[in-house]
Structure formats: structure tokens, C-alpha cells
């Protein structure tokens, strides 16, 4: 048992989700006094009363707020109002309830989507307020960015210990492969895999392929989050990423190669690229957390493809049962 964790009651919202499962695996190994993973059917955090009841019922010393409503560009375009409301209200309700009940520490997971559309890479934490986010995911990004302001205001007025982390795009085994809501890596893996199975000579991908992204393997992100829980108590946000960018076209070619797809890739420039570039400055994480990402992109993609191949039939069957 780790003495640092032995007396802590830890509540992880979103603990049953993609990132949440990775974080909870790390926390379980540390053997806290209690690890609480609330489910939405029990506590809908968009409702003030449910957030209050969660904190009152579970009495956590530490809250790690991972719960979010998320999706790729398509989902953000279809549901901008819901993405703003749900992510804003979950954070506001939970932070206020934690403050009222004397929670010792609150770790809020933000998003790279909060950065301005034309932020010069590498994105530094000080650049967060230098412009408006990219339009297709702005409602989600603005909602998450506002929670940083709330935590800093609560620190100033109430001495509430809130920490804010900004992970870049995540990927890895267990990701969301639903074509309606998935992000770029699982979407491309599924698309190339299905094209290979059909013997398709061409795959059409959204955008021009020229936009760049940075990707963080989910287990590396979980390590950074738990590290922040242990050692970081300040109010300034911290980026979590690799510090390396890749164009979407390069990413697609890499995934096609891993899957053995030999057809052509055509880019549909009538569809949005999203933010032009994404690359984080990760120097603060190295200095303040003594943390850095360890999984190279190609190795992480190989693991993710292996997981997809092992679970493809189950995921397809579940989608068919939902009518998707």
C-alpha cells in the first residue's frame, strides 16, 4: 500500500470511460482507501442536486473530473448546444459541490480544443486566452476553458485547491470506434480496416489532410494525471502531450500501412479540417510534474490496431444492435 494514498477517498467521474479506465487502473495499483466510480444512471452531473448528492454520499478527499460529452468534428457540428451545456454544467455543479463539502483537491481535465484556432505552435499555457477556439468545436472548448476560470476564482476567494490539466488528442486500446462519434484515429482505423475487408480500391477521408495533430497514448495521459494528483497543487494549467505533431495525411498513411491497406486515399476538401495545427509546449509538465510521454506514435497505433482487430466483431455487433 502506498502511504500517500492509504487514507484517501478518491472519486473519478467518467471512470468507466476510455481515459477513465486507464486512470482508474493506475489508481487501483496505488490502493487508496476508496476508489469511487459514479455512473450516470445514479448521478447525472448536469443536475445540481445529483452533483451535490454524489459528493455528500461518497465524501471524497480527491475528485478527478474526467466525465465529459465528447466527439469528433461531426458530432461537435451536430450537437454544439448539448456539448456546451453538458460539459459546462457538469463542471460547474461538481466544483461548487466539492467546494461546499470541503473536498481537499479537485483535478479538472480540460481539452486542447480550448486553445485559440490560430494559436502559434507549440501551444503554451499562457496562450490559452489569446483568441477564440476553432469554430467546429468552440462550444465544447469554451465550456471547458471556463472551468479553469472557475477554479482559479475559487482558489482566490475560498482557497479551494483546483488543478487544471490540458491533454492533447488521446488514443489507444479501448477507444471509441463508433463512426458517429469517434475521433480521428479510431475513425481512420475502422475505415481502412473495413475498406480492406471489402477490397475497396479507395478510401475517402474528411478535409485536405494538411491539418496537423498531436496524439497522446491513453496510458501516458493517465500517468500524467495521477502524477498531477500526487505532486501538483498550483492554479496554473498544465499541458499533457508529446510535443510532436503529425499531419492528418501522414497519420492516415501510417494507419493504412499498419493495417496493410494498399488502396488509394482521397481527401474531400469540402469537409472541414478543424484547427489548422496542434502541437503543445510540454515543458511545464516536465518541470512541474517530472512527467513526459513515453509511447511513440507508431507503437501506440500498432497496439490500438491490435485491440481493434481483437474486438472488431463485438463492436460491429453492438452497433448493429443499436441500429448503427
What's the angle, vertex CA 86, arms to CA 84 and CA 87, rounded to 5?
A: 70
Q: How far apart are CA 227 and CA 282, in angstroms?
A: 15
How far the first Cα of the chain sits from its last, in Å, is: 45
* pLDDT above 90: residue 71: no
Res. 34: pLDDT tops 70: yes
Of 215 and 318, more confident = 215
Q: Please give the average per-residue pLDDT across 159-163, as a whole number.
A: 98
pLDDT, position 323: 65
pLDDT band at 68 (very low <50, low <70, confident <90, very high): very high
Give the DSSP per-residue string, 284-295.
HHHHHH------
Helices vs strands, H then E, count in the chain: 10, 12
Please state the rounded mean pLDDT for residues 196-202.
95
**Nearest CA among 88, 19, 100 for reference residue 54:** 100
Is residue 192 within 8 Å of residue 259, measured between CB atoms? Answer: yes
Mean pLDDT of 130-142: 94
pTM equals 0.94
Place of cell 487514507: 7
User: Does residue 151 have a pLDDT over 60?
Assistant: yes
Q: Is the pLDDT of residue 18 over 90?
A: yes
Is the per-residue pLDDT at 1 higher than 70? no
Type and span of the H or E element at 315: helix 297-322
Q: What is the pLDDT of residue 324?
A: 56
Q: Which one of the listed residues 43, 115, 140, 164 is annotated catalytic? A: 140
What integer is the mean pLDDT of 122-139? 95
Domains identified in the chain and CATH numbers: 9-322 (3.40.50.720)
Banded model confidence at residue 167, pLDDT cuts 50, 70, 90: very high
Q: What is the pLDDT of residues 283-295, one digit of tens each?
A: 999 999 999 999 9
- Between helices 80-100 and 138-158, what is the axis angle to 10°? 10
pLDDT of amino acid 222: 98
pLDDT band at residue 230 using 50, 70 and 90 as cut-offs: very high
Q: What is the dihedral of CA 198, 202, 208, 212, to 10 degrees?
A: 60
Is the pLDDT assigned to residue 310 strictly greater than 70?
Answer: yes
Phi, psi (rounded to 5 degrees) for 11: -110, 125
Assigned C-alpha cell, 275: 484547427
298: pLDDT strictly greater than 70: yes
Residue 2 has pLDDT above 80, yes or no: no
Question: Helix, strand, or coil here: 55?
Answer: helix
158 is catalytic: no
- E-strand ranges in the chain read 9-13, 34-36, 62-65, 105-109, 162-167, 169-171, 202-206, 212-213, 215-217, 238-240, 246-247, 264-268
> Who contacts 307 (Cβ-Cβ below 8 Å, separation ≥6)?
172, 173, 174
Please list the alpha-helical segments (H only) found in 33-158: 48-58, 73-78, 80-100, 138-158
| Cell 489508481 -> residue | 27
What does pLDDT average to over the chain? 95
Under a CB-based contact definition with an 8 Å cutoff, are residues 204 and 263 in contact?
A: no
Amino acid at each position: 500500500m502506498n502511504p500517500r494514498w492509504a487514507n484517501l477517498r478518491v472519486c473519478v467521474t467518467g471512470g468507466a470511460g476510455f481515459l477513465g479506465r486507464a486512470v482508474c487502473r493506475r489508481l487501483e495499483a496505488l490502493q487508496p482507501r476508496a476508489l469511487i466510480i459514479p455512473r450516470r444512471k445514479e448521478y447525472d452531473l448536469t443536475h445540481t442536486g445529483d452533483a451535490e448528492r454524489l459528493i455528500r454520499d461518497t465524501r471524497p478527499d480527491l475528485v478527478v473530473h474526467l466525465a465529459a460529452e465528447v466527439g469528433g468534428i461531426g458530432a461537435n457540428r451536430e450537437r454544439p448546444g448539448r456539448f456546451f451545456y453538458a460539459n459546462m454544467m457538469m463542471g460547474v455543479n461538481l466544483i461548487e459541490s466539492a467546494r461546499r463539502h470541503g473536498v481537499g483537491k479537485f483535478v479538472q481535465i480540460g481539452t486542447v480544443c480550448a486553445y485559440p484556432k490560430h494559436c502559434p505552435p507549440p501551444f503554451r499555457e499562457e496562450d490559452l486566452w489569446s483568441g477564440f477556439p476553432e469554430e467546429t468545436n468552440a462550444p465544447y472548448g469554451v465550456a471547458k476553458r471556463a472551468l479553469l476560470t472557475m477554479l482559479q476564482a475559487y482558489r482566490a476567494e475560498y482557497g479551494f485547491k483546483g488543478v487544471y490539466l490540458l491533454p492533447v488528442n488521446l488514443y489507444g486500446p479501448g477507444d471509441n470506434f463508433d463512426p458517429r462519434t469517434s475521433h480521428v484515429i479510431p475513425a481512420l482505423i475502422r475505415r481502412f480496416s473495413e475498406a480492406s475487408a471489402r477490397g475497396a480500391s479507395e478510401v475517402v477521408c474528411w478535409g485536405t489532410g494538411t491539418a496537423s495533430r498531436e496524439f497522446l497514448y491513453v496510458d501516458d495521459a493517465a500517468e500524467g494525471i495521477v502524477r498531477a494528483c500526487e505532486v501538483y497543487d498550483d492554479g496554473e494549467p498544465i499541458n499533457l502531450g508529446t510535443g510532436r505533431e503529425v499531419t492528418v495525411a501522414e497519420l492516415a498513411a501510417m494507419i493504412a500501412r499498419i493495417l496493410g491497406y494498399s488502396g488509394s486515399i482521397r481527401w474531400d476538401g469540402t469537409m472541414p479540417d478543424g484547427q489548422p495545427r496542434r502541437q503543445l509546449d510540454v515543458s511545464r509538465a516536465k518541470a512541474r510534474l517530472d512527467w513526459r510521454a513515453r509511447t511513440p506514435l507508431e507503437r501506440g497505433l500498432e497496439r490500438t490496431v491490435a485491440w481493434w482487430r481483437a474486438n472488431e466483431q463485438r463492436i460491429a455487433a453492438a452497433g448493429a444492435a443499436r441500429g448503427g
